Structure 1
């Protein structure tokens, strides 16, 4: 019982730290979100090795040269993930040809259910430019830690499970440096302005 209490306290502290950094954390259906770019609280981004929908290895180096909008989620997500990916698809349409100057990346936090084929099938419902990445539990955990992403498996009463996770889209410049975030349920006009700035400056 004491160990469980300590674990809950540690999770709460992590949630506070991530909120200060400026990320939105989804816990069930609720979220909290945050601060401006350049808060200096933590370094966001770093080395990772994941697997693309074609089964080939993808690292952080493959994203360099273009700015990136990176979202961590999972294919069984009931609301936040399909909503965010639909918004990214709509934003890509509004950007027109400028969307080709941007990496749109969806990284699964559910290694158990989201293999390359499942990711490929899931992403057919969204803009074809969205890059789907997954990996082993260890690879996903390393990527999540690099980008300061919170996620945890939550068991449901029916024996199934869901994933609580950070809901913000992380913006990185073409050199792999943290640029800012887009919060869940942020106004489309604000997100579009952020992406235009990212493309122009990043």
Structure 2
């Protein structure tokens, strides 16, 4: 693998229609928009706090990536967006994200707000029954969702994504490449 020519890691900012404006509530209860995170790269993951596997695994991998980035970690904002706003209140999100890393920001909102952000990121999700059957509108449920983590530019444009299970070492290396190419905190793009 080391002898293969390296493929372009990043999309040209603005060339892939993923990401965009949003308005949600962070885990402290404050309303935030895309613009509140301008000036830093963003690592964005969608999930829910009652997720039995993909979400806690991915958030643990993101926390490990933050550790591996060391001083470079501050050039990135880490966002965990709930796809289950009915259960994932700001207080629930606050407790959940702090179990992984205090630098991860939990985002939730109304169903319409979450739907709108998921749509801009092309994230498909749906409620399903506990055994994977169609959700009937009552009782316990899970949220079936994609497991991608998105790396976005400092203005919120898609750069690349990491599939579920990407090693923290690989994420950290790619994020360092993005910092080198697109700059650290502040500046353009």
TM above 0.5, yes or no, is yes
**Structure 1 unaligned regions, length at least 5:** 1-35
Maintained 8 Å contact 2:152/2:158: yes
Correspondences of 1:87-98 after superposition (within 5 Å)? 87-98=61-72
The answer for the alignment partner of 2:152 in structure 1 is 172
Q: In structure 1, what is the Cα distance between the partners aligned to 2:163 and 2:141?
A: 25
* Greater fraction helix: 1
**Stretch of structure 1 that moved more, 42-51 or 132-141:** 42-51
Q: CA RMSD in A?
A: 1.9
* 53 and 187 in structure 1: CA distance in 2 versus 1, 3 angstrom threshold: closer
**Distance apart, 1:78 and its partner CA:** 0.5
TM-score scaled by length of structure 1: 0.78
Aligned to 1:186: 166
Q: Please give the secondary structure, in 2, of the residue aligned with 1:118.
A: helix
In structure 1, what is the Cα distance between the partners aligned to 2:54 and 2:161? 16
**1:107 matched to which residue of 2?**
81
Aligned partner of 1:29 in structure 2 is: none
- Aligned pair count reads 167
Partner of 2:11: 38
What TM-score do you get using the length of structure 2 for normalisation?
0.83
Contact 2:49 2:96 in 1 (8 A): yes
CA 1:41–1:98 in structure 2 vs 1: closer, same or farther (change >3 Å)?
closer
Instruction: Provide the secondary structure at the position in 2 that maps to 1:199.
Output: helix
Distance in 2 of aligned mates of 1:141 and 1:179: 22
The equivalences for 1:51-70 within 5 A come to 51-70=25-44
Q: 2:162, 2:174 → 1: CA distance?
A: 8
Residue aligned with 2:101, SS: coil
Q: What is the CA-CA distance between 1:37 and the residue it aligns to?
A: 4.8
Q: What is the match of residue 175 of structure 2?
A: 195
Taking the aligned partners of 1:185 and 1:72, their CA distance within structure 2 comes to 14
